[in-house]
Each structure stands twice: as C-alpha cells, then as structure tokens.
Homo-oligomer: A and B are copies of this chain.
Amino acid sequence: MAMAELIPSSSSSLYTKTTSLQYSSQLSNVLSPRLSNQRRVCLKPRNSTIVCSVTSKEVQAPVSVKTEDPKKKPECYGVFCLTYDLKAEEETKSWKKLINIAVSGAAGMISNHLLFKLASGEVFGPDQPIALKLLGSERSLQALEGVAMELEDSLFPLLREVSIGIDPYEVFQDVEWALLIGAKPRGPGMERAGLLDINGQIFAEQGKALNAVASRNVKVMVVGNPCNTNALICLKNAPDIPAKNFHALTRLDENRAKCQLALKAGVFYDKVSNVTIWGNHSTTQVPDFLNAKIDGLPVKEVIKDTKWLEEEFTQKVQTRGGVLIKKWGRSSAASTAVSIVDAIRSLVTPTPEGDWFSTGVYTAGNPYGIAEDIVFSMPCRSKGDGDYELVKDVIFDDYLWNRIKKTEAELLAEKKCVAHLTGEGIAVCDLPGDTMLPGEM
C-alpha cells in the first residue's frame, strides 16, 4: 500500500506528488479554468459556399452558422455542414428523431473503432439518425479533422452531422449521450493518486459542462480511467442531471469473464450468462462466478474446479489487457469499443429474460448493502428505455462478500482522494499502490 500521509513528510518522495491533492474544492476550481477561456478554435468549412444550419432539436430554414453565436456550438465538418431537410426524411424513411452523441478522446484508437460503429447504425439501430460531436484537445485537432474526413468518405446514411471541438461547453450542447473516453495516461513514476487528480480535473470540468449545456436526461458513459471515480467526480459536478444516468464501463471485464468461463467449461461463449463484475474497474474488481450461469446452470455445478474459480479466473480476467499489450503491441482498442457498444445496447434494448449486465453506477439506495455515494459496478436490467434497475435476486457467500468489501474499500479511499473535485472538502489519499489494470491506460 502506497500511502499519502495526511500531513506529508517532506522527506517522502510522495510529498511533491500529493501536495497538489490538498486543495479545497474552491481553490481547485480557480486553478482549473475552463478550457474555452484559454483558446477557442473555429474551423472553417472546407467549402465556403456551404452553410451550417441543422440544429439537433428541429430542422430550420437554411441559415448561416455565422449568424449564430459561434461560441454556442462546435464547428460542423465538410459534407456534414450541408443543409438538408431531415424532417422530410424522417417521414419518408420512418426514421426516429436525430440524437446527439458526444465522444471525448475522439482522435484516439478506441474512438476510431467506436465512431464508425455508432455511425453504421449497429448501436442505436437502422432507423436512428445521429449527430456525432467529437471532443478533442488542441493537440489532436488535426487528427479529429482526419477522423471527420474518414466519416465523410464512409457515406453512412444515418450519420447526419459531425462536428468537432475542444471546448466541452460547446461540444456537449444538447447531447443525449456523452461517451467520455479521453483521459490522460499515467506517466512514468506517477502514483495512482496523481492520476486520479489529473484525470479527475478533466472529468470535473466535463461534468460542469454537461450540467450547463447537455440534455437534461443525458446518459454518460465514462471509459477514461480510473473510470469509476471519474464517473463519481463527473456526476458530482453535474447536480442537475440525475446521478443514475452516469455509468463507468466495466463491460469489457464482463465480456472477458464470460469468455474465460466458456473456455474453462468447454462451451461457446454464448452459453454463459448472468455474469456480474462487482466494484471498481481495477485489480480489485470482482468477477462473480457465484451467480453466473452456464447453459442455465450455476457455474459451480459446471466448473467443479473451485481452486481455478477462486484463484485463477479473476486473475485471468484482470491480466487480459496486459497479455494483449505484450502480444499485439498496443492496448485493446477494438474490443473496448465493442464493449462500449454492448454497454449502450444493453440500455437501449430490453435485457433478455432472466439475464442481466454489469455497469458501474451510483450506489444510492442499492439493495446489497454496498456503501452509498460511490460508483460501483453491479448487475442491472433495462427495459430498453436508456434507464436500468438493479437486479435483486443475487446471492452472496463469504468469499464473494469479502472481495466486494475490498473493492468497496478501494472506491471509498479513491473518493476521499478526490474530495477537492467533488466539492467535499480536503482530499486525503490513502490508496493501494498499483491497482490499475495492466494495459488499460
């Protein structure tokens, strides 16, 4: 356990790394000004004879984007700046109303897979036109244009708008979904506390922006790590949006757990159901084999090797990302994107009878006795309306519960460590040293 003392000793190497965590939340707000105050970028449409006009809410008569407050929305891109009558298409094609989807870290590799899946219709369905709002950094702005160009060249019929920007207050305007993928990687020698602070500031800022400009029922999926606590920071900074709408992605862990159980049982992965990932997306995560089923039977009735279940299974799930990095030379962008698609589809399509899915959600009023006021991965079901309910009929034994308490303790410690970002006072960091999943950052 690496421990940042409440009153750091000047002789500790941790000192310089952790003092920055000891700001009050008020001071922190002063120190992390809005990105938009630093620089505002306006991209010129490449064909200047074409004007931007379509808003997300309704189709208007063509107007030039120049007549609008340029600070209010990000810039459209290329062919997506064109004026068209979507309402007419909604009628002729029986399309649903356009939805706005923001993706942060949009120039990164996970997004490079995800954006094309969103645009192809495989996530929200073949009758759901979408607008993609790409959030990047100043450094990635050219790359964002490259992504937008590739989206243009892909001719996806359902992709009606693409805009790019670096200010979350612009990019998150009216979004119904915010997929927050961008996060800073842990630098050499950086403690987990330092990572929590750096990324926490990003997610505090994005929470504020969502609170200010997003749809009042926006669904937020936090992928950037450490995702549970980033999601907590984000929702605390967005008090006007239901806390229930924020998710931390643990679906890749669930998918990996299903695959490993299938391998061990010698069945195809579609036979494995009811797998819960409990807790934090870190090495303390708890892949639950007690409630999981194979071909409708409890896993323990199919896999008799208790030692494997208790000792090897969890480790196999946790180390998967690291193994993959060694083999493939980069982190698992494609399967992460697939798991984001799975996570969204689980919320917009009804959960199959008797099954459930895992997602990190706010613990207010959970039936399991898990600490309140953290973001904790738990088993959920959805009617397909974007909302979810927690599954009640799960069982616990000592093994499972003890491990749940351990991941809960970690999340409570992380929460104390980001108190300056959640408006809850002075940060105190007492964290396990290295519970980041290998290959995840």
Chain A residues within CB distance 8 Å of chain B: 46-47, 49-50, 78-79, 82-84, 107, 112-113, 116, 120, 122, 142-143, 145-147, 149-157, 160, 252, 255-256, 258-259, 262-264, 266-270, 320, 323-324, 326-329, 332-335, 337-339, 342
Contact = CB atoms under 8 A, between A and B. Distances in A.
Chain A contact residues: over half helix, strand or loop, or mixed? helix
Given A154-B334, A334-B112, A327 B259 contact: no
Contacts of A120: 122, 338
A294 B155 CA distance: 14
Most buried by B among A79, A143, A258, A262: A79
A156 to B, nearest CB: 8
Contacts of A256: 153
A328 B270 contact: no
A320 B153 contact: yes
Most buried by B among A82, A259, A334, A342: A334
Contact of A263 (B78, B84, B263, B337): B78
A269 B79 contact: yes
A195 B416 CA distance: 60
23 contacts: A47-B264, A50-B263, A79-B259, A82-B267, A82-B268, A113-B334, A116-B338, A120-B122, A120-B338, A122-B122, A142-B327, A143-B327, A143-B328, A145-B327, A149-B324, A150-B324, A152-B259, A153-B335, A153-B338, A154-B255, A154-B338, A155-B258, A155-B269
A312 to B, nearest CB: 11
Nearest to A156: B338
Most buried by B among A46, A145, A263, A329: A263
Contact of A334 (B150, B320, B332, B335): B150
Contact of A270 (B142, B157, B259, B329): B157
A36 to B, nearest CB: 23
